[in-house]
Chains A and B, each alone.
Chain A
Amino acid sequence: MSTVTPSQAEAAAPVIDEARLHAALAAGERPPRPSAFAACRAFGWRCMLKIKHVPEQLLDVTITPVMFLLMFVYLFGGAVSGSTDAYLQFVLPGVLAQAVLFTTVYSGVTINTDMTKGVVDRFRTLPIWPAAPLVGATIGDMARYVIASTVVLALGFVLGFEADGGVLGVLGGVLLLVIFSSGLAWVFTTLGLVMRSQSATMNAGFMALFPLVFLSNIFVDPSTLPAVLEWFVGVNPVSHVVTAVRGLLGGEADGGDIALVLGEAAVLTAIFVPLTNRLYRGRG
């Protein structure tokens, strides 16, 4: 990724060539409109390109959980669970969920960037399925969830995490996380359409997510908490996700836990997809 200094590039660029300009303008027959699927795929490709060109955007969502994992396991592990090994078994599924959930905030940041830079205006004047940019972005976000999961799991296995649920349990856990996060991402897409800037979107998103992540069963067993806090942890959807993922990874998957998480994802989707769509199309 070298940079072109404008003066260099400008000097190298020929003055616009009239003949080539005319040839390019007159070129070819108009292709048929793309299907909704093809349009979504093109937007998904766009998200992949962004990850390729700006891999730094994955850093904060991967480095943070790695730091949390190392810090909690080695700093508090002994105190909380008696040994770091036992705490790793407990905390890894939670940190995995935390990593993926924080990634969802970026769905809002991405759409806010597109809005404020005017890219969306061009997309909205194209004769394509109007929801394609949103659906395509969701596909790109899923790739991010999988990358974040892979980083945390890889580190976990290096540190000695044992997944009693086996390969299927691990894959099931990641899949459940991807599904729930795709639902949660719509909350932040809505937020991204309402906020005025990227940093405002990011701040508001993390501010909403932080208490939910920390007042959950990710780091500690809620039975040790004061009653009010224990009640909150119990109704917190993040706890439900962590419980289900912990079950899947640990080989004690519970159908009821999983169904609850899928239900919550469905509710989030049902509320926030229409809201996002409305804001996106009726902007201004």
Chain B
Amino acid sequence: MSKNELRIIARIMLISIGLYVLLQTFLTALSSIATLPILASAQIKEMPLIITAICIYAVLALASVYFLIRCANRFSTKITEPEPVDDMQVSWLAIALRLICVSAGVLFLYWSVPNLIMTLYTYMIYKPYQHYMSPKSDIVKYVIMLGLSIYLASGAPRFVRWQVRKTLKQCSKIEEQQPSWR
């Protein structure tokens, strides 16, 4: 598989994730808008804050989708930068694993960032009642997930190197057991 083909696959994956985020944002915004009249009739004190949170979420999600689709070309070139190895097959394996990690990282970011914002927001609103709730553990959870997401989205270099090493080891072991496959 050529480098160009790999770059196209990377582009397809990034744009697919962007479209998935866009669809999910649209559905979430739709359900939020549907519940707004109910909340308005209940005359909730924090109504302006709720509307602000929905707007922030929508703007953040749309900005990240725009960024993902607009810069897909640049990202895909970065992901498919060749590894400093001579063997093309090893390089291909590393690039494919990196692509998997970046895709998982972007998905994790999408799953954890809105939740982190929401938890922080809940923490601020319900500060007087925090004895009954434990948003601190949720904040710690999302911060850990955010760290993990950023590591994966940056290509998880150590993990990829480790996985390539293990894969090659397993390949050579199996080839030793089945010499006819060589």
Q: Do A and B bind each other?
A: no
Q: Which residues of A contact B (CB under 8 A)?
A: none
Q: Which residues of B contact A (CB under 8 A)?
A: none
